[in-house]
Structure 1
Amino acid sequence: MRKLPNAGLVVAEPTIALQRRVMIAATVGTVIEWYDFFMYISVASAISANFFSSDNPVWANVFALLTFATGYLVRPFGALVFGRIGDMIGRKHTFLTTILMMGFATVAVGLVPSYAAIGLWAPSILILLRMIQGLALGGEYGGAATYIAEHAPQGRRGWLTSWLQTSAPIGFTLSMLSVYFMRSSMSPEAFNGWGWRLLFISSVFPLAISVWIRLKLQESPLFLKMKKEGTLSKSPIYDTLAAWPNLKRVLIAMFAMVVPQSVLLVGAQIYSLVFLTGTAKVDPQIANLLVGAALMLTLPAMIFFGWLSDRYGTKIFVLAACVIGTMTYVPLYKALTFYANPALYNAQTAVPVTVAADPSECSFQFNPIGTTKFTTGCDIAKNALIRFGAPYSNRSEANGAIATVFVGPKAIPVGTAGQAPDVAAFTANLKQALEQSGYPSRADTNAMNFGMIILVLVALSTIAGMIFGPLASAMTDLFPPQVRYTSVSFSYHVGNGYFGGLLPAIATALQIATGDIYAGLYYVIIVSAIAFFLGLFWLHSPQAVAKIESNAAVTA
């Protein structure tokens, strides 16, 4: 057995003024880093048009979302690399490095030539830059959370670290507002052509502000004490992952806290934007403002739950969020559809669309580079419905049956027996039938209930905020300080990267494959339900967490 020195190292308690200064400095810097990271999703439609080729623009958008997910997937590796540096060299210099990496990658995205100019090199370079962003962010959150927590006394840690939790929503909102004002200042063609690039290139200015802020920070007093006494971990990655006592804490933090937080938060904030613009056909500028307004209104709730966690612990809020999310996500998204696009909501209820076809003719239409042609009747029918944004159900027919789309009682066959389908004629007939049945091509702004849309979005974000607000405090409490940076970062980014990061792409792909606009939400529901039972048995009371923190034994 090898023991890390006692985790309960004592240093002089920082003054209230210093605690506040540290919290503000760390939070502002993290806001800017999240702003850079989320800028991508705010211009996803322009990214898909510039960097991916597809017969179907919807699938190009899915591939753009998968590239967004790439930034999430590499975050755990950044957590290990920068967590190790942070636990061995220091908190301050490590997350100064991460902001510089993030800024470089963000500016570079705005300079990459398009698919039309350099072909497959364009998405390849874009993916590389997203990976650099993900690596940087992997080292950012754990460092900021650890830095604030090590300046905060017990009894105020939930309150102070909850302000850090607002950095992601604020960064996301700022990115959406930047996109909104840029879109408003030029034509859609200009924005999709070159305007979006200015947003990435101009991020060099907030980068400079963030670097200046972080240069003024001092190292964590707890880290300096461990360094002076020679009690730092010599192998933070080993002590985090190879020793069962701490690995158990990693698994508890990851699956009982981070994973449910991740799917609920991404489902509330990022996927809601994708859903509003792609499914409900809301104008992107309006959707950005609605989601941004809801996020800002939710911030006090996140801070409030962080404050409550100082008194009641985190477990009660994790379990409550999982239960509420499991029971309300589909109803809330149905309400979102009703208030954002009532014509679509009513049409799919009154005049359902069905694709009746031989199942052997139906493909999974994933074609991001535009090399595959979908020529069967079933594929032609689904391709057209995806383009028109019409939800549909599937019905199996006998082998060799002619694929037919039913819009209510009206049958629209894809061609005739013995002849190649006339795609143009079928598409025109389908479009006419959908329009006559009330399926809108765009959401009617005059019919939208903006107040209720914001209220639904606030409800979704508040559910996630029940976990997200106290999360940083709960995770930093769980791990001994010698491996805190590495353990917090790895737990957080694996849970977010491999569950929340893939949610927009998985949910959108499920929606397209099934025709059910709510199919992707079952991913959130299933993960939340599983996390409830894990949290019920794994999460501890505040007293038990304190006991775990003081026991820093690891297996050599």
Structure 2
Amino acid sequence: MASAAPAVSAEPSKKEIRLVIAASSAGTVFEWYDFFIYGTLAALIGQAFFPAGNETLQLLLVWAGFAVGFGFRPLGAILFGFLGDRLGRKYTFLVTVTLMGIATAGVGLIPSAASIGIAAPIIVISLRILQGLALGGEYGGAAIYVAEHAPPEKRGFYTSFIQASVVGGFVLSIAVVLACRFLIPPEEFAAWGWRVPFLLSIVLLFISLWMRLKLNESPVFKAMKEAGETSANPFAESFRYPGNKKRIFVALFGITGVLTTIWYTAFFSGLSFLRGPMRVDELTVELILFTAGFVSMAFFVAVGWWSDRVGRKKPIMIGALAALVLLFPIFWGMGSLANPGLARAAAENPVIVAGPECTTDPFAELFGREQSECGRLLETLTSSGVRYSVESADGLGLSVGGEAVPVTAEWLADGTALRDGVQAALGERGFDFSRQSPPFINIIGIFALLLVSSMLSALTYGSVAALLSEMFPPKIRYSSMSIPYHIGAGYLGGFLPLIAGFIVARTGDIYAGIWYTWAIVAFGVIVAWWGIPGGPPRDFDENG
């Protein structure tokens, strides 16, 4: 039995559709800018708010703060999904964009940990929670709002601009950081200039509100309200509605789990990988990511258009299966191109660490535990981007290319001395730890590989707003699609940088974190094949 949407009294004009897409997409760009600027400036945020005794712990604390915001997205989805299904799509996502803008600007006003101590990271985490709540309501509102204005035969194309806008937020965050770097001297940017991108959020908030206040309510919601068919409790009904539990499971693991892990691996893992262990100059990395992200926005729109013709399932399956094959080669290729000296030295002079208790404990300092000497050595090698193997031995030892390197007591005195000593010794044996400015041809290669990963993301993401809107009944659509989407994006994707970073820290393999993405995508492929409706796109069908 099919459940049709309520009759819509008047189809929106082309002018209204253009305004709907423009205002919804612009607001989405600004909201994701607010959320991503934290990740784009991760290194400087770590120095300001999460100072630690070693680089690995500092970065993990930053990514933990990043993950906290994602962790609260499902709660935001429940809260704003309820309001969106009860009160309307338009005013709900006016609230979300306002909350996001205020929270983001607040990060730019917090004094550093050097000034106010532990209060600084606590306030940062609190604002990240508000951002997570806001974002939990934003995506569902914007996606449904556009989908419910779009004619069925163009729903994938129109909603793909929302998907491209997520990338647009990432691109805008990098563009603003690049502009600030060009306008503010490096020392001043590191001291205070990094706060400017956060404060800019207030300007973006007013632009977004101005655009969205021009919009009318969704015609589907208006028709439901006039017919008295809105849900009294959309959250509860999302789990009681016939067939919805299966749809939510598929939306969580077969759709969101796949798209979000590929997306964050392509963009944030790529950013962190090039800037961190590959030691590529920050400006170079930001220019590459900005260009690749800007170009890739067209892929998302193209996939949305394509899905209107071939269905939603085919692009997702192609992208997910291709990701399983290509993710590791993409990062291996970027590593070889970004820092060829480091890759060559690692191949010619394998690093072997021997000793007792040779495991790392990245959070040892945070919880007052004692890190073993061997663990500290492994941590130093990992943060330096050096791959190694471990052998058991009674005493601590380090060899490079079969030649023993003495680990002195002076090195072990503190983390900085250990890092400087190890890097100096390995530098004499061909390892290059200087900031890299790869040759232009290598930069083109890195750019091309990032475009390939962006294509994988577009295939799994470009049609998703249309697909999720079609999977759920209109009266509980906001809640039903937002809950699995934000659980998946919030936990499977939002915790990816933290989990992948922890895997790398524990294994010492700078590529090992990709296994997390691979495992989530592999499971998602099975669920997607089983649960995503095949064939041409169609409106909600209880049997679909």
Interval containing the TM-score (normalised by the shorter chain)? over 0.9
Map 1:95-494; keep pairs closer than 5 Å.
Answer: 95-243=93-241, 245-358=243-356, 360=357, 362-367=359-364, 369=366, 371-374=368-371, 376-397=372-393, 401-415=394-408, 429-447=421-439, 449-494=442-487
Identify if the C-alpha distance between structure 1 residues 44 and 368 changes in structure 2 by more than 3 Å, giving closer, same or farther: farther
Residues 427 and 208 of structure 1: CA distance in aligned 2, closer, same or farther (over 3 Å): closer
Contact 1:402 1:414 in 2 (8 A): no
Superposed displacement of residue 288, structure 1: 1.2
1:541 match: 534
What is the alpha-carbon distance in structure 2 between the residues aligned to residue 546 and residue 179 of structure 1? 42
The 10-residue stretch of structure 1 (183-192 or 281-290) with the greater mean CA deviation from structure 2: 183-192
Q: Deviations over 1:407-448 (max 9, x none)?
A: 1112124358xx995668866653332112221113431535
Q: Counterpart of 1:43?
A: 41
Distance 1:428 1:149 in 2: 56
Question: What is the number of equivalent residue pairs in this alignment?
Answer: 541
For the 8 Å contact 1:91–1:220, the answer to whether it is kept is: yes
Q: Distance in 1 between matches of 2:347 and 2:221?
A: 60
Provide the secondary structure at the position in 2 that maps to 1:150: helix
Amino acid at match of 1:65: W
**Distance in 1 between the 2:324 and 2:194 partners?**
37
- Partners of 2:350 and 2:388 within 8 A in 1: yes
Distance in 2 between the 1:289 and 1:323 partners? Answer: 29
Maintained 8 Å contact 1:254/1:495: yes
* Distance (Å, rounded) in 2 between the aligned partners of 1:81 and 1:427: 47
In 1: Cα distance, 2:137 partner to 2:236 partner: 17
- 2:101 and 2:205 in contact (8 A); partners too: yes
Compared CA separation, residues 346 and 20, structure 1 to 2 (3 A)? same
Partner of 2:386, secondary structure, is: coil
Tell me whether 188-197 or 33-42 shows the greater mean CA deviation: 188-197
Residue 7 (structure 2) aligned to one of 6, 10, 15: 10
Residue in structure 2 matching 1:497, options 484, 490, 495 = 490
In structure 2, how many angstroms separate the alpha carbons of the residues matched to 1:325 and 1:120?
41
Change (3 A) 1:410 1:100: same
SS class of match (1:445): coil
C-alpha distance in 2 between matches for 1:80 and 1:263: 22
Contact 1:403 1:413 in 2 (8 A): no
Distance in 1 between residues matched to 2:185 and 2:382, nearest whole Å? 26
* Paired amino acid for 1:437: R
> How many angstroms apart in 1 are the aligned matches of 2:152 and 2:58?
49
- Paired residue secondary structure (2:52): coil
1:499-518 paired onto structure 2 within 5 Å: 499-518=492-511
- Which residue identity does 1:106 align to in structure 2? T
Aligned pair in 2 of structure 1 residues 226, 120: CA closer, same or farther (>3 Å)? same
**CA-to-partner distance for each residue in 1:63-100, whole Å, 9 max, x for gaps?**
10111111111101100100100100011100000011
Aligned mates of 1:480, 1:355 — CA distance in 2: 58
CA distance in structure 2 between the aligned counterparts of 1:310 and 1:285, rounded to whole angstroms: 39
Q: How far has the Cα of 1:383 moved from its partner?
A: 3.5
What residue number does 2:542 align with? 551
Change (3 A) 1:426 1:315: closer
Secondary structure, counterpart of 1:405 in structure 2: strand
TM-superposed deviation, 1:187:
3.5
Q: What SS does the corresponding residue of 1:438 show, helix, strand or coil? A: coil
Letter in 2 for 1:438: G
- Separation (CA, whole Å) in 2 of partners of 1:246 and 1:184: 51
Q: Residue deviations 1:220-262, cap 9 Å, x none?
A: 1111111111010111001113445222211111111111000
RMSD of aligned alpha carbons: 2.2
Which runs of no fewer than 5 residues in structure 1 stay unpaired? none
**1:233 partner amino acid:** S
Q: Secondary structure at the match of 2:271?
A: helix
TM-score by length of 1: 0.93
Question: How high is the sequence identity, in percent, across the aligned residues?
Answer: 36
Listed as ranges, the gaps of 5+ residues in structure 2 are none
Q: 1:97 to 1:422 in 2, by over 3 A?
A: closer
Question: How far is 1:109 from its partner?
Answer: 0.5
Shift of 1:551: 2.8
CA offsets 1:424-473 (integer angstroms, 9 cap, x no match): 88666533321122211134315351111110000001011001100100
The AA in structure 2 aligned to 1:431 is Q
Residues 381 and 403, structure 1, Cα contact 8 Å, conserved in 2: no
Q: 1:542 Cα shift?
A: 4.0
Amino acid at match of 1:320: I
Q: After superposition, give the CA deviation of every residue in 1:244-302 in whole Å (9 maximum; x if it has no partner).
A: 52222111111111110000011001111011101111112211111111111111211
